[in-house]
């Protein structure tokens, strides 16, 4: 299983958010030596199929496969085995799938053999605010729901958590230092927040206790993605 990052550069997960497999492979080639991992998300995976994992991995960076699996336990277990066979380093599931689903994913990953992927449980999407959660029947706001789902996921076997930077300090206090935290919704100072509602700068997120930072458009939308990644790593101190 992947170790915690040992340098600021390796904290960065570059999100290859595009449906174009060729563009994703090109970004990966440019970024492989400047980031810790590259992320293949749902759009790219659905548009290009599982083969895109091999084409992106050829650049040399480990793969964060961000599919946010959420289904009955047996189906998620099967999907986890299939993802593990692709050689990915990280795989996301939804903590809201419940204890049995999280446990099934962990068991499937461990049974896959070889260097298994980290099973990362998504708590509350960074695009959701208090009003959005209330509309789905969840009272108490993001912070309360994140902690509830985080405890459920860790107790059920998740290796780490995906959360907003705004909940990192709370999770560190509630769960201790041993749970890896992967944080999307990261925007360098002055960058457009886009469709994210709970964002933070890279240095703020690391100071709060984040282990890995998922960063997409500020890197891949730059004229020189590699230089953008280097600048972000340098800003972390």
Contact between 160 and 179 (Cβ < 8 Å) = yes
From 10, 39, 68, 197, active-site residue: 68
For residue 138, count other CB atoms closer than 10 A to its CB.
18
Token digits for 151? Answer: 């405890």
Token digits for 150? Answer: 């985080």
DSSP run (H or E) holding 162: strand 160-162
Q: What angle do CA 23, 10, 116 make, to 5 degrees?
A: 85
Q: Active site includes 68?
A: yes
Nearest to 220 by CA among 52, 8, 56, 47: 56
Tracing tokens 């053999």 back to the chain, one arrives at: 113
Distance CA(158)–CA(177), nearest Å, equals 15
Alpha helices by DSSP H, listed for 64-157, are: 73-84, 99-111, 130-135, 141-155
Active site residues: 68
């Amino acid at each position: 299983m992947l170790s915690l990052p040992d340098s600021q550069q390796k904290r960065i997960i570059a999100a290859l958010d595009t449906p174009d497999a060729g563009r994703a492979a090109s970004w990966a080639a440019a970024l492989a030596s400047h980031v810790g991992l590259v992320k293949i998300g749902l759009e790219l995976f659905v548009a290009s199929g599982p083969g895109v994992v091999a084409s992106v991995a050829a650049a040399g960076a480990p793969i964060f496969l961000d599919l946010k699996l959420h289904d009955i336990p047996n189906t998620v277990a099967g999907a986890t085995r299939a993802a593990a066979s692709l050689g990915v380093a990280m795989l996301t599931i939804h903590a809201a799938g419940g204890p049995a689903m999280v446990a099934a994913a962990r068991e499937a990953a461990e049974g896959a053999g070889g260097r298994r992927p980290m099973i990362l449980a998504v708590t509350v999407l960074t695009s959701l605010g208090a009003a959005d959660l209330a509309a789905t029947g969840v009272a108490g706001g993001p912070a309360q729901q994140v902690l509830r789902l985080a405890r459920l996921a860790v107790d059920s076997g998740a290796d780490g958590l995906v959360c907003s930077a705004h909940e990192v300090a709370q999770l560190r206090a509630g769960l201790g230092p041993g749970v890896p935290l992967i944080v999307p919704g990261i925007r360098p100072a002055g960058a457009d927040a886009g469709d994210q509602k709970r964002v933070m700068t890279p240095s703020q997120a690391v100071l709060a206790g984040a282990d890995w930072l998922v960063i997409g458009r500020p890197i891949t939308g730059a004229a020189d993605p590699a230089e953008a990644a280097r600048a972000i790593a340098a800003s972390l101190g």
